Structure 1
Amino acid sequence: MSNTIIAAGAVVWRKSESGQVEVVVIHRPKYDDWSFPKGKADIGEAVIACAHREVLEESNLETQFGPYLGNVEYETIDGPKRVYFWSAKVITAYPFTPNSEVDKLEWHSLKSAKKILTLDSDKDILSKFSKLDLDTKPFILLRHAKAITRDEWQGDDDDRPLDSLGSYQADRLVPIYEVYKLEQIHSSDAIRCFDTVNALARKLNITLEVSGKLSESAYKKDKEKAFDYCKDLIKADKSILICSHNPILPKLFNKLTKKAEVESDDEKLQPADSWVIHRNGKEIIQVDRLDAPTA
């Protein structure tokens, strides 16, 4: 299915004054259908970044992304299509202007949305969405981008920089992780970690908090130091990203999710991969894995 059209979108939601969950449904005159905001990915664009861009373009709503909802596949006149979906909470609602692509935008209860949606695949995604605990915030464990190998580097290991692919990955991480509306970014004091998330922190205009407790050298001396650093952070009602190393992150992930009823992930993170832990207070609701940007 190499010719499959890749697209992405989101179930955009808010709570009404009465506390009822409402979702956005849009009308597209070209197809005369009602659907969730979604659209085709640009060449080289990460699907989650595509979903965020399409939501903003089609609905004029700025959102904070939550748990991944899965993907659907169906046939179109242009060939097979695969669409990836996330939940997304409205942060800012800009005025909607009808246009040639989207001429109507409506807010519906879940029951009403199920009736108006045209595609059964959208209704399936709505069903998954309806089972979610929506009031979550992400706690992200990100492995640094690809660095120069130890064999190629003569200096101190903490000073080992990103290679050309790693620098590319660091730039591409910005549109991926800004969808989570991060409030804090914490990094190992190793150069390769700092340089992985520095551009993201600048784009979000937040202070990058650097700590030796997240470094490999600290881990070799005390394997509990990174966990001690993170155990209170994960309980905070904030959107947080931690950038660190293997083998720290897999052990940290296992300890942080030990009591949660979520699927485990036995695979190590490759450079610039992450686990996104969605939690509601002290409870972990879902864990998503985001792969590194590809060249």
Structure 2
Amino acid sequence: MKPILAAGAVLWRRAAEVEIAVVHRPRYGDWTLPKGKLDDGESRYAAAVREVAEETGFRCALGRSLGLVSYAVDGVPKSVDYFAARVVDGEFTVNDEVDKLEWLTPTAAAARLTYDHDRAVLATFCEHGPETTTLLLVRHGHAGRKDKWPGPDDERPLSKTGRVEAKALAKLIPLFGPDRVHSAPKTRCVQTVQRVAERLRVEVRMEPRLVESAPLDKAMGRLQEIVSESGTAVVCSQGGVIPDLVRGLAEDSSVDVGEAHSRKGSMWVLSFVGERMVGALYIRQATNT
């Protein structure tokens, strides 16, 4: 039996205090967090943003992963990926699935929610509070073989596969609400995030300390400087340094990053409270993930 795949979010905003969106579904008579099934070929990240918009009327920016919830619906296994999601703009209107939306404090929202698994997701969200800092650490896309490129390696461009990966990343990355773009000064790195920069109408900031030949302590220091700035940054670098950076950031935290993979065209969603990393999500590829 094919499992049901879905995605949702703890949608939050700051008024006088942090408020959580809780929705009422008349079909089921329940109060829940916004969520819904993935469309064919849709990523869980795109599905979470789309479902929030469809059920609540609000456009959102994704933050850290809040984990996977699994249960059965009429005997069919269902899994829901949840994310923190900050309101960008919008307004609630009654729709086919939701007839009421309430903005509640986390404590009041937990009391209103119908299901224990929703309360568990909300509790995970509350562990670090809503306003964590997100860093999107991207490895450049495929750029062909080094020994087949006649020019300087710094100028080696993306291959056809790499351009496809860059196009996919340009759809994925904006779901997390970035506001600035950084890149190691390699043509293939800059090309990987150029579309994102153009969409944001910002320049790509060159980061010579983030090339794989730079001393690791210098690269780590620069990455921490970027994290300390407000907003959400995109940083594109190379496979020879990204795993070490991820492991280094995780050393003083309780976050398990495993083998710290860094596939070409992949992305790490790293979440911080101050300088401490509190979450790490590896996205192996930008499509169908």
Give the whole-Å Cα distance in 1 for the aligned partners of 2:168 and 2:238: 19
Residue 100 of structure 1 aligns to a residue whose secondary structure is coil
Which one of the candidate residues 264, 268, 272 is aligned to 2:265?
A: 272
- Determine the structure 1 residue equivalent to 2:113: 117
Does structure 1 conserve the Cα–Cα contact (< 8 Å) formed by 2:12 and 2:130? Answer: no
TM-score, normalised to structure 2, is 0.89
Give the whole-Å Cα distance in 2 for the aligned partners of 1:115 and 1:256: 36
- Determine the structure 2 residue equivalent to 1:235: 228
Which one of the candidate residues 24, 27, 51 is aligned to 2:21?
A: 24
Alignment size in residue pairs? 288
Q: Does 1:262 align with 2:259?
A: no
Amino acid at match of 1:70: G
- Determine the structure 1 residue equivalent to 2:38: 41
Q: 1:98 deviation in Å?
A: 0.7
CA 1:294–1:100 in structure 2 vs 1: closer, same or farther (change >3 Å)? closer
Alignment of 1:1-295 (within 5 A): 3-17=2-16, 19=17, 21-77=18-74, 79-92=76-89, 94-216=90-212, 218-219=213-214, 222-294=215-287
CA 1:79–1:153 in structure 2 vs 1: closer, same or farther (change >3 Å)? farther
Q: 1:30 deviation in Å?
A: 3.0
Give the whole-Å Cα distance in 1 for the aligned partners of 2:254 and 2:42: 32
Give the whole-Å Cα distance in 2 for the aligned partners of 1:224 and 1:90: 36
Give the whole-Å Cα distance in 1 for the aligned partners of 2:5 and 2:34: 14
Structure 1's unaligned 5+ residue stretches are: none
Residue 75 of structure 1 aligns to a residue whose secondary structure is strand
Q: 1:50 deviation in Å?
A: 1.4
CA 1:146–1:46 in structure 2 vs 1: closer, same or farther (change >3 Å)? farther
Give the whole-Å Cα distance in 2 for the aligned partners of 1:4 and 1:12: 25
Give the whole-Å Cα distance in 2 for the aligned partners of 1:66 and 1:283: 16
Deviation by residue 1:1-52 (Cα, 9 ceiling, x = unmatched):
7x222111100112341x3x32111122333322211112222222112111
Deviation by residue 1:224-263 (Cα, 9 ceiling, x = unmatched):
5433433422222231121000111122233344433432
Does structure 1 conserve the Cα–Cα contact (< 8 Å) formed by 2:246 and 2:257? Answer: no
Give the whole-Å Cα distance in 2 for the aligned partners of 1:6 and 1:163: 33
Deviation by residue 1:180-225 (Cα, 9 ceiling, x = unmatched):
2212211122221111111111122222112344334x53xx5554
Amino acid at match of 1:266: E
Amino acid at match of 2:40: I
CA 1:223–1:22 in structure 2 vs 1: closer, same or farther (change >3 Å)? closer
Residue 42 of structure 2 aligns to a residue whose secondary structure is coil
CA 1:33–1:257 in structure 2 vs 1: closer, same or farther (change >3 Å)? same
CA 1:259–1:103 in structure 2 vs 1: closer, same or farther (change >3 Å)? same
Residue 232 of structure 1 aligns to a residue whose secondary structure is helix
Give the whole-Å Cα distance in 1 for the aligned partners of 2:133 and 2:20: 19
TM-score, normalised to structure 1, is 0.87
Give the whole-Å Cα distance in 2 for the aligned partners of 1:23 and 1:58: 14
Q: 1:77 deviation in Å?
A: 4.3
Does structure 2 conserve the Cα–Cα contact (< 8 Å) formed by 1:133 and 1:285? Answer: no
